[in-house]
Chains A and B, each alone.
Chain A
Amino acid sequence: MLTALKQKFLVWLFRPKTESGAVTLTQRRIFILPTRQGAGFALVLLLMLLGDINYNLSLGYALTFLLGTTALMSMLHAFRNMAQLEIRTGRVDAVFAGDSAQFAFHFHNNSGLPRYRLTLRDGGGHGVTFDIPARKNLEVKLPLPALQRGWLGGGRLTLHTEFPLGLFYAWSYLQFDTRCLVYPKPAAPLPLPASLAQSGAGSSSVAGEEDFSGLRGYVTGDAPQRIAWKALAREQGLQVKQFGARQGRELWLDWLRLPTLHTERKLEIMARWVLDADAENLHYGLRLPGVELPPRHGAAHRAECLRALALFGLDEGA
Chain B
Amino acid sequence: MREHEVPVKPAPSLVYGLLACILMVAAPHAGHLLLWVSALCAVLLGWRAYLAYSGAPLPPRWLLLAITLGGVGGILISFHTLFGREAGVTLLVLLAALKLLELRAARDATIVIYLACFIVVTHFFYSQTIPGALYMLATLTAIVTTWLHLQHGALPLNTRLRMAVLLLLQAIPLTLVLFILFPRVQGPLWGLPQDAYASSGLDDKMSPGSLSRLSLSDAVAFRVTFGGKPPLREQMYWRGPVLWEFDGHTWTPGRTARTKPPQLDNPGSPSDYTVTLEPHNKPWLFALEMPARISIPAELTYDFQLHRKSAVNARLRYDARSHLEYRANAEEEPRQLRRALSVPGGFNPRARQLAAAWRARFTDDGAVARAALAYFNREKFRYTLEPPLLGANSVDDFLFGTREGFCEHYASAFVFLMRAAGVPARVVTGYQGGEFNDLGGYTIVRQSDAHAWAEVWLRGRGWVRVDPTAAIAPARVQSGLAASLPDSAALPFFERNPSPWLRSLRFNLDALANRWNQWVLGYDAERQFAFLTRMGMEAVTWQKMALNLLGGVALVVALLAAILLRRLVVRNTDAAQRLYLKFCRKLARAGVVRGAHEGAQDFASRAARMKPRAAPAIADITARYIALRYGRQADGMALPALRRAVAAFRL
Contacts and interface: CB of A to CB of B under 8 A. Distances in A.
Contacts of B155: 116
A229 interface: no
A13 interface: no
Interface stretch (A53-61, A148-156, A280-288): A53-61
Nearest to B133: A59
Interface stretch (B468-476, B559-567, B634-642): B559-567
Contacts of A117: 151-152
Given A137-B596, A164-B148, A48 B118 contact: yes
Given A40-B114, A65-B179, A76 B151 contact: no
Contact of A59 (B189, B520, B565): B520
Contacts of B521: 58-59
A48 B140 CA distance: 15
Contacts of A48: 117-118, 121
A37 B110 CA distance: 8
A53 B189 contact: yes
Contacts of B502: none
Interface stretch (B168-176, B291-299, B456-464, B617-625): B168-176
B3 interface: yes
Interface stretch (B71-79, B491-499, B587-595): B587-595
B125 interface: yes
A52 B121 contact: yes
B588 A22 contact: yes
Interface size class, chain A: 35 or more
B182 A61 contact: yes
A106 interface: yes
A169 B196 CA distance: 40
B1 interface: yes
Nearest to B588: A21
A154 B375 CA distance: 105
B568 interface: yes
Contacts of A139: 596
B123 to A, nearest CB: 9
B152 A44 contact: no
A164 B568 contact: no
B568 A108 contact: no
Given A63-B136, A69-B175, A84-B569, A116 B152 contact: yes
A62 B520 contact: yes
A163 interface: yes
Interface residues of B, number: 65
Contacts of B151: 117, 162-166
A127 B4 CA distance: 13
A240 to B, nearest CB: 29
A70 B178 CA distance: 13
B136 to A, nearest CB: 7
Contact of A58 (B170, B189, B523, B570): B523
A304 to B, nearest CB: 20
By secondary structure, the B interface counts as helix
B172 A44 contact: no
Contacts of A88: 593, 595-596
A66 B171 contact: yes
B167 interface: yes
A40 B2 CA distance: 15
A201 interface: no
Contacts of B136: 59, 63
B570 A111 contact: yes
A296 interface: no
B3 to A, nearest CB: 7
B234 interface: no
Interface string A70-94: 1011101101100110001010000
B604 interface: no
A55 B174 CA distance: 23
A221 interface: no
A218 interface: no
B179 to A, nearest CB: 6
B175 A76 contact: no
A185 B564 CA distance: 51
A124 to B, nearest CB: 12
Given A53-B189, A77-B564, A117-B151, A58 B171 contact: no
B404 interface: no
Nearest to A166: B151
A2 B314 CA distance: 55
A68 interface: yes
A76 B524 contact: no
Nearest to B130: A59
A98 to B, nearest CB: 25
B271 to A, nearest CB: 30
Contact of B140 (A41, A54, A66): A66
Contacts of B561: 76
A171 B3 CA distance: 14
B144 interface: yes
Contacts of A163: 151-152
Given A57-B128, A165-B151, A36 B570 contact: no
Interface centre among B167, B168, B567 (most CB of A within 10 A): B167
Residue picked from B118, B565, B568, B570, most chain A C-beta under 10 Å: B568
Contacts of A47: 118
A67 interface: yes
Interface of A: 20-22, 33, 35-37, 40-41, 44, 47-48, 50-70, 72-74, 76-77, 79-80, 83-84, 88, 90, 106, 108, 110-113, 116-117, 125, 127, 131, 137, 139, 162-166, 169, 171
22 contacts: A35-B1, A48-B118, A54-B190, A55-B188, A57-B128, A58-B520, A62-B133, A66-B168, A67-B140, A69-B172, A70-B167, A73-B167, A76-B561, A79-B565, A84-B569, A88-B596, A90-B595, A106-B597, A165-B151, A166-B150, A166-B151, A169-B1
Interface of B: 1-3, 107, 110, 114, 117-118, 120-121, 124-125, 128, 133, 136, 140, 144, 147-148, 150-152, 154-155, 163, 167-168, 170-172, 174-175, 178-179, 182, 184-185, 187-190, 192, 196, 314, 520-524, 557, 560-561, 564-565, 567-570, 588, 591, 593-597
